[in-house]
Amino acid sequence: MREVTIILVLLFSSSLVAAFCPLDKIHRVGHCSYRIVCINTISDINLDSECQGSSNYNVQVDVILQNASDTFHVGADPELFTMITTLSIHGNWPRTELSFLDNMYRLRNLHIINNNIQQIFNSPFQNLVSVENIDLSYNRISNIEDLFQFETRPFKMHSISLAHNSIVEIPGYAFEELSSLVELDLSYNYIRELREEPFSNLTNLQVLRLNNNKIKDLNGALHNLLNLRHLYLRSNEIQKFDMGTINTINHLETFDLSKNLIETIDPTLFPRHWKHLSNNSICRIMLSDNHIAHIPNASIEVFERFRRNSNKPIYVFTKLDLSNNSITNIEYNAFSLMQIISIDLSNNRLTDFIVNADDLIYVRYLNLSSNYLNRLYYESFSSMHNLQNFDLSHNYMEYFPDQSLSNTHSLKYVNITYNDILELHSLRITFHPEGGYLDLSNNGLSSLIIPENEAIGLKELALNSNNISDAYLIRLTDQHNLTRLDMSNNFIVELDESSLQLPEKLDYLDISFNDIYRIAPSAFIRLNNLQTLRLSHNQLKVIDHGVFRGLSILMNLDLSFNEIGQLDSKVFMDLKMLSLLSLRNNGLNILDNDGWLSRKQDLTVYLDDNNLSCTWLAKALTDFNRGYSRMHPSVLKPVLTGNSIQGIPCKQEVQNLEYPSAKYMTDERLLIINQNILEAVQEQTSLLRKFMWHSILQDAERKTALNVVQFA
């Protein structure tokens, strides 16, 4: 039985004009389902007979048409256009009637994006009885008065996008026939005024995007949007809103009024976002980047009225964003009735944070950064048992607010960077069972002692950019869960065997960007679980033998940006598992790699910006490539100019000492020749050794035979 195949065939015209729908742009993606890319026009496409006009199969023909004029359909087969279900067109049509849509009664998705359309005449969509989505974004359309008129009301219409156009006014009956519409995007236009009429029939609308316009007042435009769930009004010129503004919208899940000109908040507004929402719903209220200075108490009266009219308990959570305002005062019961799980108050003017703790029971994320706080109050935090992420950075705290956080047992991340903390006497907090991260960087700490019964569960600690000059004053041996420690950007000058009072479980230590000039032998002896050690950007000139004693499983060592001119690889003999070594930007002249010849696993050594000779580098690369050595010279950034081999910079020796004016070789081809000569010498040496060994064996055999004859 002959297998039936469904093929789209593009017929070439007898003229010399290029194909309109190239065969390599025709893709079958399923049974009676095709994806086609055409140029200039859609022509001479034949579907298999069982898919043409079929009611038994869900025929889908998605066409992308490029470089088309709006009359591309003239002379084309109208039957072909009836088969298209998705059409995306790219062209340049300042004024158009979109007359090619007349016979496309199966069209479901239409995308005419970025076509420079300024005006659309008549009502081109009136015959699209199956249309679901129309996208006219990124054009220059200004008039939409008669645009969405239909012979038969389009009950399947789901979404319309007119974003990024030039619309200034929405006519009263522009969307009258679109009662089935679920999503409407009018963002990035020039709309100044809203009225009720254009939206009065959009009773099924769930998503309305009016962001990035010039709207000053809602004027009751949203009163009939009974099913609206997501309202975006960001980046407008709205100065006020109240209960009357969104009188009938009681169930918004997203309410974005950020980046407007709002100065006051109506306390009766927030409870209205709870009604009709299902349990465990999350309501997002975004009021960032306004001019709000005061957060009043919530309206208990309004809440009680809604609660009495509700037949079920209310379990709706709220994410509230009030960042980038001018808030100086928050009343005690401001967050009542909202069941907040996230609140962002960053970049305001708060000098204190005193609120009803019972209103913050569910809070997981709290951002108080970039304010003027110098203390916290236990009463506000006493019930925050669910707090996980707390940001107190960029304030004026002089001590760690450990008493305020003593009742929290779920903390995962605490950020207290950029404060005025000079010393810490206690850290009575408990982190999440999975471990917690504490960032105390950019303060004034010179010492820190955390006993065993404090900072329980601390896994990562950042102490970078403080005033630490003596590492011995950072005593963390009792922090048995601590695995990562960052002490970079401090003033540590020396390390000895007693300097690092750190837990044995530590596997990552960063002491880069300090002033370390000397590391005594056995300085890291107690850190036998360390896997990464960063010592870059210090003042090290010499690495003594035994410095890395005890680091038997260290895998990554960074010694870059120091002043190590000479280095003996034998100082790394204790690092059996080392796989990455960075020696970048040290000015290395001599690197003796004999200590690596017996390594059992590969070691990558980064050598950017050093002064090693090309002869040494050529030999090291040859030894690695031939398997004599497991040390692989490499760079992070290969160089393209100057002396280099395989992108690794090197210094070429003077070739003729009798003539001091002789120049260094600069041609990389000579360096490659030099490397090949070294390889040839090594090969000849190997052959000579084999020949000598063979000769010795032959002499021994002759002597043995002679002795046998004499004995006989």
Q: Using one digit for the tens of pLDDT, what is the confidence trace for 492-548?
A: 999 999 999 999 999 999 999 999 999 999 999 999 999 999 999 999 999 999 999
**How wide is the angle at C-alpha 581 spanned by C-alphas 575 and 586, nearest 5°?**
125
User: pLDDT value at position 6?
Assistant: 32
Q: Which of 6-15, 86-95, 119-128, 170-179 has the lowest mean pLDDT?
A: 6-15
Q: What is the mean pLDDT of the chain?
A: 85
The arithmetic mean of pLDDT across residues 89-101, rounded, is 91
Arithmetic mean of pLDDT, 634-647: 87
Q: Are 340 and 302 in contact (CB under 8 A)?
A: no
Partners of 283 in the β-ladder: 318
Contacts of residue 304, Cβ cutoff 8 Å, sequence gap at least 6: none
Nearest one of 150, 253, 243 to 208, comparing CA atoms: 253
**How many residues are given for the chain?**
712
Q: Token pair 């065969």 is at which residue? A: 23
Helix axes 614-625, 668-711, angle to 10 degrees: 60
What does the pLDDT read at residue 218? 87
- With H, G, I as helix, E, B as strand and everything else as coil, classify residue 430: strand
| CB atoms inside a 10 Å sphere around CB 660 | 7
| Residue 658 pLDDT > 80 | no
Angle at CA 111, nearest 5°, toward 109 and 117? Answer: 145
Beta bridge partners of 163: none
Residue 459 has pLDDT above 80, yes or no: yes
The closest of 130, 141, 139, 147 to 87, measured between CA atoms, is 130
Placement of tokens 């290029």 in the chain: 18
pLDDT at position 249: 65
Dihedral sign computed on CA atoms, order 287, 292, 296, 300: negative
Q: Tokens for 34?
A: 């095709």
Across 370-398, average pLDDT: 95
Q: Which residues contact 16 (CB under 8 A, 6 or more apart)?
A: none
If residue 278 lies in a helix (H) or strand (E), which one and from where to where? Answer: none
Q: Where does the pLDDT of residue 663 fall: very low under 50, low under 70, confident under 90, or very high at 90 and above?
A: very low
pLDDT tens digits, one per residue of 477-489: 999 999 999 999 9
Rounded-to-integer distance, Cα 404 and Cα 398, Å: 14
Helices (H), 383-475: none
Lookup result for tokens 């809440």: 303
Tracing tokens 């001091």 back to the chain, one arrives at 660
Output the pLDDT for position 24.
78
The pLDDT value recorded for residue 691 is 62
Predicted local distance difference test score (pLDDT) of residue 4: 31
Q: Answer whether residue 446 shows pLDDT above 90.
A: yes
Q: What is the pLDDT of residue 425?
A: 83
* Listed residue (561, 444, 572, 550) closest to 502, CA to CA: 550
Within 13 Å and on the Cβ side, how many CA atoms surround 611?
Answer: 11
Range with lowest mean pLDDT among 142-156, 449-463, 673-687: 673-687
Give the mean pLDDT of 594-609.
Answer: 89
Residues 181/158, Cβ–Cβ less than 8 Å: yes
- Choose between 682 and 385: higher pLDDT: 385
Q: What is the pLDDT of residue 664?
A: 38
Closest CA to 65 of 48, 94, 86, 34: 86
* Whole-angstrom distance, CA of residue 404 vs CA of residue 392: 12
The position carrying tokens 């404090």 is 454
**Do the beta carbons of residue 476 and residue 452 sit within 8 Å?**
no
pLDDT band at 692 (very low <50, low <70, confident <90, very high): low
Report yes or no: 96 and 71 within 8 Å, Cβ to Cβ.
no
Check pLDDT > 90 for residue 313: no
pLDDT of residue 240: 85
> What tens digit of pLDDT does each residue of 260-271 get?
999 998 877 666
| Averaged pLDDT, 566-587 | 94
Give 185-225 pLDDT, tens digit per residue: 999 999 999 998 999 999 999 999 999 999 998 888 888 88
Average pLDDT (5-21) is 41
User: What mean pLDDT is predicted for residues 241-258?
Assistant: 77
| Stretch 420-425: mean pLDDT | 91
Q: Report whether 432 contacts 411 (CB < 8 A).
A: yes
Measured over the CA atoms of residue 286, residue 292, residue 294 and residue 296, the dihedral's sign is: negative
Predicted pLDDT of residue 221: 87
Lookup: tokens for 679: 């390889």
Average pLDDT over every residue of 273-290: 77
- Structure confidence at residue 666 (pLDDT): 42
Give the residue among 576, 539, 528 at the shortest CA–CA distance from 561: 539
First to last CA, the chain: 90
> For a pLDDT cut of 70, what percent of the chain falls above it?
83
Q: 571 by DSSP, 3-state: which? A: helix
Of 403, 518, 413, residue with least CA distance to 454 = 403
Q: Is the pLDDT of residue 437 over 70?
A: yes
Tokens 């869900």 belong to: 58
pLDDT at 398 over 80: yes
Confidence (pLDDT) at 34: 87
Structure tokens at 179: 């009662």
Contact 52, 71 (CB under 8 A): no
Q: Is 618 helix (H, G, I), strand (E, B) or coil?
A: helix
The reported pLDDT for the residue numbered 431 is 94
Residue type, 676: N
Mean pLDDT of 645-661: 67
Q: What is the pLDDT of residue 9?
A: 33
Matching residue, tokens 């709205």: 238
Alpha-carbon span 237 to 212, nearest angstrom: 9
Mean pLDDT score, 660-665:
39
What span, in angstroms and rounded, lies between the C-alpha atoms of 563 and 542?
8
155 vs 132: which has the higher pLDDT: 132
Task: Please report, rounded to a whole number, the percentage of residues in the chain having pLDDT higher than 90.
Answer: 58
- Inter-residue contact 41 to 17 (CB < 8 Å): no
CB 569 within 8 A of CB 591: yes
Residue 642: which pLDDT band, with cuts at 50, 70 and 90? confident
**280 vs 93, higher pLDDT:** 93
pLDDT of residue 285: 92
